[in-house]
Amino acid sequence: MRDPRTPWRAVAAAFALNGVLLGCWASRIPAFVDRLGLDERTLGGLLLVMGAGALTSFPLAGRLSDRFGAVRLTRWIALAYLGSAVFLGLSQTPAMLAAALFFFGMCHGSMDVAMNSWASEVERHMRRSVMSSFHAMWSLGAGLGAAGGYLAAASGTSTGLHFALAAAVSAALFGPFLRLPWQSVARRDPARAPIFALPRGPLLLVALMALAAGLGEGAAVDWSAVFLTETLGTPEARATFAYAAFSVTMVAMRLSIDTIITRFGAVTVARVGGLLGAAGYAICATTGLLPVALFAFILMGMGYAAVIPMAFTRAANDPEVPPGQAIASVATLGYGAMLFGPPIIGFIAHATSLRVPFAMVGGAALLITLCASALSTTRAAPSARPETSA
């Protein structure tokens, strides 16, 4: 009997690879800033270019995933993603960096859609919730990529050499797992479907949940340290404690929460998650104590950990929209909020204080609780299966 964990390892490798390369880039941003003389405004624009590349790729990747199969598309894009990292590391001018980041963002975003579609197939094959564990592998991969970036920066390694070595090591480490046998099963002819399917009905509610979760995660990533320093007066050295508490909790929850989802159901987990996220931001909006604020970020990590993975699982099983396009539509709102939400928070905070947008983000988290029942709809269709031969 075939080991059911084999396809899990394959998809986990895809998620880890995706995270490693993004972690490499994030950890070496200061090197690009120093070498190219980038100011904050230029860097912000470049980050938006990368985000635009990802958002542009979502609908196309969804369509291609349905047409050619999620597993095949994931493997193709993984190769392109490795190449884009090498190109990114060699960028010598701001214009070259912008082009490289747009391509890098496209590869990152399109692989995200394809591998989540593949993950949903494996989840149906295994007949239990495993999507959150895949996202945990992404977080671990990003951490490994960031750790490698720290070592490269400390040793004075250039970004070109660092990214080339990271791509080579990642290909050698994860490539064999990506080639484990799996065959995606076509469920319908996507040729007549639109390139981008707007979420509608219950899927719209799922997309709103992803939007609220993306907003909450983005705010924690970009504004947690600033909140501690500017609002609570925390020394800069301790300002990293907030995001550390949030991210460690996210990884721990994603490694364990699939069992909870299997036992209590996605709807219940989402309802509780929305309440925890809202409570975390509400506490931050009112407290003046560092330990209480750190506890609030732990609550946020617990609350948001499973929402986007569950949203992708639900999207992949939508009875009306092909899985790739459904995942793409949900990803567009979720990651769009993660990308564009933090700048809006900054504008509101500048006019008032950071407590005000934090309270608003907490209010948005209640959408997760209110829309949670939309997670109960599933597709009645044959699942993908392992190939009979490599």
At 305-328, the pLDDT tens digits run 999 999 999 988 888 888 888 888
The CA-to-CA distance between both ends of the chain, in Å, stands at: 16
pLDDT at residue 253 greater than cutoff 70: yes
Which residue bears the tokens 């799922």?
206
Q: What is the mean pLDDT of residues 167-181?
A: 91
| Average pLDDT of the residues of the chain | 86
Residues 348 and 234 in one domain: yes
Amino acid 390: pLDDT: 32
Which residue bears the tokens 């050295």?
237
Which residue bears the tokens 């986007």?
308
Residues 271 and 363 in one domain: yes
Tokens of 32: 């690009």
| Chain segment 278-293, per-residue pLDDT in tens | 999 999 999 999 999 9
| Chain segment 327-352, per-residue pLDDT in tens | 888 988 888 888 788 888 888 888 88
d(CA 266, CA 284): 27
pLDDT at residue 47 greater than cutoff 60: yes
Amino acid 184: pLDDT: 60
Identify whether the C-beta of residue 46 lies closer than 8 Å to the C-beta of residue 91.
Answer: no
Structural domain boundaries enclosing 173: 5-184
Identify whether the C-beta of residue 305 lies closer than 8 Å to the C-beta of residue 134.
Answer: no
Q: How many domains does the chain have?
A: 2
pLDDT at residue 238 greater than cutoff 70: yes
Q: What is the mean pLDDT of residues 74-102?
A: 95
Residues 116 and 228 in one domain: no
pLDDT category of residue 196 using cuts at 50, 70 and 90: low
pLDDT at residue 380 greater than cutoff 50: no
Specify the pTM.
0.80
Query: Residue 180 domain-assigned?
Result: yes
Query: Residue 382 domain-assigned?
Result: no
Residue 305 buriedness (CB in 10 A; 0-12 / 13-18 / 19+): buried
Residues 237 and 134 in one domain: no
Residues 35 and 137 in one domain: yes
pLDDT category of residue 385 using cuts at 50, 70 and 90: low
Amino acid 388: pLDDT: 39
Q: At what angle do helices 290-304 and 355-371 cross, to 10 degrees?
A: 30
Residues 256 and 346 in one domain: yes
pLDDT at residue 384 greater than cutoff 70: no
Residues 35 and 98 in one domain: yes
Residues 180 and 225 in one domain: no
Cα torsion angle, 22, 207, 336, 366, sign: negative
We report the CATH number of the domain holding residue 212 as 1.20.1250.20
Residues 106 and 208 in one domain: no
Residue where a domain terminates, one of 152, 184, 216 = 184
Residues 84 and 224 in one domain: no
Q: At what angle do helices 236-264 and 131-154 cross, to 10 degrees?
A: 160
Query: Residue 213 domain-assigned?
Result: yes
Q: What is the mean pLDDT of residues 20-45?
A: 83
Residues 140 and 224 in one domain: no
As a three-state string, the secondary structure of the chain is CCCCHHHHHHHHHHHHHHHHHHHHHHHCHHHHHHHHCCCHHHHHHHHHHHHHHHHHHHHHHHHHHHHHCHHHHHHHHHHHHHHHHHHHHCCCCHHHHHHHHHHHHHHHHHHHHHHHHHHHHHHHHHCCCCHHHHHHHHHHHHHHHHHHHHHHHHCCCCHHHHHHHHHHHHHHHHHHHHCCCCECCCCCCHHHCCCCCCCCCHHHHHHHHHHHHHHHHHHHHHHHHHHHHHHCCCCHHHHHHHHHHHHHHHHHHHHHHHHHHHHHCHHHHHHHHHHHHHHHHHHHHHCCCHHHHHHHHHHHHHHHCCHHHHHHHHHHCCCCCCHHHHHHHHHHHHHHHHHHHHHHHHHHHHHCCCHHHHHHHHHHHHHHHHHHHHHHCCCCCCCCECCCCC
Residue 41 or residue 230, greater confidence: 230
Query: Residue 275 domain-assigned?
Result: yes
Query: Residue 128 domain-assigned?
Result: yes
Residues 121 and 220 in one domain: no
Query: Residue 171 domain-assigned?
Result: yes
